[in-house]
Amino acid sequence: MKSRYKIVLFDLDGTLSNSAEGVKIGITAALTQMNKPLPDLSDYSKYVGPPLLTTFQGLCGLSEDEAHEAMELYRVDYEKRGKYENYLYDGLVELIDALKTGGSLTAVATSKYELFARWVIDYIGLGGRFDAICGATLDGRRKEKADIIRYACDTLGVEISEDGVCLVGDTMFDAAGAKKAGCGFVGVTYGFGKREQILNAGGERLAGSVEELYKYLIEG
């Protein structure tokens, strides 16, 4: 088998790890400590995927300064509790190993704070399987998915192209980021995003399971 892409980038939350409960716990803790009202957090697609700073300002209605304060409170609580609410989706170890054997470089490209992303990758059993783990900065200087895709490709020393680089992700933010950055994209519908939203953001190829990813990522 041969990989179709020189680089395959994976989103983290909802693509590699089932992590929504930990994100929900962290948001709830931060807003509670700030005596801010809690928004409806029943729809994971609204806050698992976009940059957390954007979530605190948009979904939660905080000012920029308040959002930065909430980020710090979230970070502290996530260290204590939220990071343990991460569970690897079945079949990913085999897929990543097949991509590596087939000639791909693999990397994580996530809007999660990079240090948290590194910890989560080790915790769910994928440590050592990626050529790079690239995430957001806590201060928001690097948070948008397109910027993180560029950062990942710069880290690996590869120029972005639609036929050379592919992002695998589960939300409309992933689809839009891939389009903006100029790389290929495969959406997964087993995560937290919604099929219609992914399609509307330009994600034309969808996989309903890890097994279905093979036909988009590996030849033969």
Rounded to an integer, what is the distance from CA 127 to the centroid of its chain?
Answer: 16
Answer yes or no: do 105 and 177 share one domain: yes
Structural domain boundaries enclosing 9: 2-18+86-219
User: Is residue 171 predicted with pLDDT exceeding 70?
Assistant: yes
pLDDT in tens, 75-112: 999 889 989 999 999 999 999 999 999 999 999 999 99
Residues with Cβ within 8 Å of residue 37, at least 6 apart in sequence:
31
Answer yes or no: do 100 and 150 share one domain: yes
pLDDT in tens, 35-75: 999 999 998 888 887 888 889 999 999 999 999 999 999 99
Answer yes or no: do 92 and 155 share one domain: yes
Answer yes or no: do 65 and 111 share one domain: no
Answer yes or no: do 41 and 80 share one domain: yes
User: Is residue 220 predicted with pLDDT exceeding 70?
Assistant: no
Answer yes or no: do 162 and 211 share one domain: yes
User: Is residue 138 predicted with pLDDT exceeding 90?
Assistant: no
pLDDT in tens, 7-43: 999 999 999 999 989 999 999 999 999 999 999 999 8
State which of 84, 106, 138 marks the end of a domain: 84
Tokens of 80: 């204590």
* Average model confidence (pLDDT) across the chain: 94
Answer yes or no: do 39 and 93 share one domain: no
Sign of CA dihedral 114, 63, 144, 43: positive
Name the burial class of residue 9, with classes exposed (0-12), middle (13-18) and buried (19+) by CB atoms within 10 angstroms of its CB: buried
Active site residues: 11
Q: How many domains does the chain have?
A: 2
pTM attached to this predicted model: 0.90
Tokens of 136: 């957001």
> For position 33, which CATH number holds?
1.10.150.240
> For position 7, which CATH number holds?
3.40.50.1000
Answer yes or no: do 176 and 106 share one domain: yes
**φ, ψ for residue 218 (rounded to 5)?**
-130, 135
- For tokens 């992590």, the residue is 19
